[in-house]
Amino acid sequence: MGVLWPAYLLLLIVVPLVVGVYLLVLRRRRRYAVGYSSLSLIRQAMPSGFRWRRHLPFALLALALALLILALSRPFADVTVAANRSTVMLALDVSLSMCADDVYPNRLTIAQEASKRFIDGQEPGTRVGLVAFAGFAQLVVSPTTERETLLEALDNLTTARATAVGSAIARALDALSEVNPNIPPLSVFVTPRNQLTGADEEFSYQPDVIVLLTDGASNRGVLPLIAARAARDRGVRVYTIGFGTTNPAVMRCSPDQLGGDEFANRIARGGFGSFSRGFGGGNFLSLDERTLGLVAEISDAQYYTAESADELLEVFSTIPLETEEKQVRMELSALLTAASALLALSAVALGLRWSPLP
């Protein structure tokens, strides 16, 4: 606790002066009061509690004045709060298989909604970035604290063929390197962790993480395990999520998710059996759980599975993000001013109620 402008505290001397003036006025009233043969008669005539009640409005006003002077001195309190240290890169699969409706209305829609809730649930200062991947990986939003930008980008995702899991990890690493100088970009060689010796053996993971969601097997771009080792050597954990069920499904993309591609829309509305292999990122009735598990294991993270909207929301809520405690200075002037105004209004209301104007 402290005050930023302590000189204003000298004004508190006004409060006892006002109280003194009030007491002096009361004494003068007694001096000119009409004499009675017995003061006990007056006390008996007064309602119960009248003697203290008549002074309560003034007491409230005096207290309101004291609080207002304290507010002028700008008091503050240093409070300890938890702050998220992590920058999170979301890497979302937008291959055509994400249109499968085994999770209603389709996998991509549920992934978009779960990602929005995940973003909204982060601390205000947490930076979140977005990578979308199908046959190649694209940085959609660089790490930012602007929630509206991220939410709008999620709504505008469109699908494409194939799945490049490794490329998504690589693109997310480069995006993290742009905001964290301790994470070298992929163009810079770093000594593999398993080759560190002597003084280089000290190694700690960065607070930044990659959260990758996919529903199929990688069949394009950088090999996922190579990308996972690059993430590990840079101290970045890659949490992987396998999303979808093994139930037969039909691909049902919305026009927005197809990007207005009518030809793709006609194909997507067909039965699933004809395209169960080699379309939209491999067999989308089965996940490459082994590879996703190894990616998480190599980077000292964890692999999750989700087969419904509720399970996916639960997965997002359990992904560990590093937090730290920090001191935040909170000014109390507004709170004291509001309390002062409330006390003053209460004093006026009580005064009018107990001693109404003629």
**What mean pLDDT comes out for the span 268-280?**
34
Q: What is the domain-level CATH number for residue 301?
A: 3.40.50.410
Q: Is the confidence at residue 263, as pLDDT, over 70? A: no
CA distance 223 to 352: 80
Asked whether the predicted pLDDT for residue 192 surpasses 90, the reply is: no
Give the other-Cβ count within 10 Å of 250's Cβ: 15
- What's the pLDDT score for residue 6? 86
Q: What pLDDT, on the 0 to 100 scale, is given for residue 280?
A: 38
> Tens digit of pLDDT for each residue in 93-145?
999 999 999 999 999 999 999 999 999 998 888 899 999 999 999 999 999 99
For 199-222, what is the mean pLDDT? 84
- Decide: helix, strand or coil at residue 353: helix
Over 70: is that where the pLDDT of 50 sits? no
Answer yes or no: do 119 and 55 share one domain.
Answer: no
Residue 125 lies in a domain: yes
CB within 8 Å of 276: residues ≥ 6 apart: 283, 284, 285
Domain that holds residue 115: 86-193+203-321
Please state, in angstroms and rounded to a whole number, the distance separating the CA atoms of residues 168 and 165: 5
pLDDT-derived band at 198, boundaries 50, 70, 90: low
* 198 in a structural domain: no
Domain count, the chain: 2
Shared-domain flag, residues 73 and 92: no
Residue range 315-327: mean pLDDT, rounded: 76
Are 255 and 292 members of one domain? yes
Evaluate whether residue 240 is within a structural domain.
yes
Read off the tokens for 333. 């002037």
pLDDT above 60 (res 60): yes
Statement to judge: residues 60 and 90 lie in one domain:
no
At residue 278, does pLDDT exceed 50? no
158 domain residue, yes or no: yes
CA 65 vs CA 8, 68, 78, 339, 346: distances in Å: 13, 5, 25, 10, 13
Q: Look at residue 128 in the predicted model and tell me its pLDDT.
A: 96
Q: What is the pLDDT of residues 7-44, one digit of tens each?
A: 888 888 888 888 888 888 877 766 655 554 455 545 55
Do residues 286 and 246 both lie within one domain? Answer: yes
DSSP state of 238: E
Confidence class for position 52, pLDDT limits 50, 70, 90: low
Q: Are 123 and 219 part of one and the same domain?
A: yes
In a domain, 40, yes or no: no
Q: Is 51 within the bounds of a domain?
A: yes
Burial class for 50, CB neighbours closer than 10 Å (0-12, 13-18, 19+): exposed
Domain check: are 90 and 147 in the same one?
yes
Does 38 reside within a domain? no
Q: In what order do the strands lie in the sheet with 75-84?
A: 2-3, 75-84, 323-331
Q: What is the pTM of this model?
A: 0.65
> Please, where are the H alpha helices in 33-132?
39-45, 50-53, 56-72, 107-120
Sign of the four-CA dihedral 105, 92, 167, 234: negative
pLDDT score recorded for residue 318: 93
Looking at the fold, whether 14 and 140 belong to one and the same domain comes out as no
Cβ contacts of 114 within 8 Å, gap of 6 or more: 309, 312, 313, 316
Residues 8 and 72 in one domain: yes
> Does 170 lie in the same domain as 155?
yes
Q: How confident is the model at residue 326 (pLDDT cuts 50, 70, 90)?
A: low
Give pLDDT, residue 32.
Answer: 59
- Identify whether residues 146 and 291 lie together within a single domain: yes
97 and 75 share a domain? no
- Give whole-number Cα distances, 49 to 39, 53, 55, 148, 161, in Å: 17, 6, 11, 59, 83
Note the pLDDT of residue 51.
Answer: 63
What percentage of the chain has pLDDT greater than the value 70?
78
**What is the reported pLDDT for 57?**
84
Percent of the chain with pLDDT over 90: 46
pLDDT score of 88 = 95
What's the pLDDT band for 283 if we cut at 50, 70, 90? very low
Q: What is the mean pLDDT of the chain?
A: 82
- pLDDT band at 191, cuts 50/70/90? confident
